[in-house]
Amino acid sequence: MITASDAAFAGGREDRSGAALAERLQRAGFEVVARVVTPDGVEPVGAALREAVAGFAGLVVTTGGTGFGPRDLTPEATLTVLERQAPGLAEATRLVNPLGRLSRAVAGTVGQALVLNVPGSPGGAVECLEAVLDVLPHALALLAGERDRHPDEAAAHAPNRPAR
């Protein structure tokens, strides 16, 4: 999990969205193996993402930097790392709340890692994660090469899926 926030990186603000996402992912059976806070911007977020996906098979969630602020560049950073986009996931997160129409979040894959951008507010981050949580185990199973597994069976294997 990567939190993009100048204030949290500088120690001026607690990473509440990262904590809320980690708690929700753990309740869903994911093992949160890493949490990182990075400054906003294409270069720092891109570097954190490249490090997170290197040799990793699982879910990488970014929180923050998806809005219209001048330093909100998480989608741009994510696009420099993704091999394939998953627009349906990003679109689903935008539909959960009227403010979702202001989201520029993207989602996609890098190797066997699935990357998902969510907003920086704790409530919005969890709300967007929950919008796609039911399909994430199947998506991760497909990325792992488990092509014959039915989505119901993939969901049963969610506890074995790591998240960053």
The residue extents of the domains of the chain are 2-163
Question: Over the stretch 25-67, which tens digit does the pLDDT of each residue have?
Answer: 999 999 999 999 999 999 999 999 999 999 999 999 999 999 9
- Supply the pLDDT for residue 147: 76
The HSE-up count of residue 119 (CA atoms within 13 Å, CB side) is: 22
| Cβ(78)–Cβ(135) below 8 Å | no
User: Exposed/middle/buried for 158, CB within 10 Å: 0-12, 13-18, 19+?
Assistant: buried
What is the distance between the alpha carbons of residues 38 and 10, in angstroms, rounded to a whole number?
9
At 162 the pLDDT is 79
Mean pLDDT to the nearest integer, 135-141: 97
Looking at 3-145, list the stretches that DSSP marks H as alpha helix, in order from N- to C-terminal side: 6-10, 16-27, 42-53, 74-81, 87-94, 122-132, 136-143
Paired sense of beta strands 107-110 and 36-38, if any: unpaired
pTM over 0.95: no
Structurally, at CATH architecture level, domain 2-163 sits in 3-Layer(aba) Sandwich (3.40)
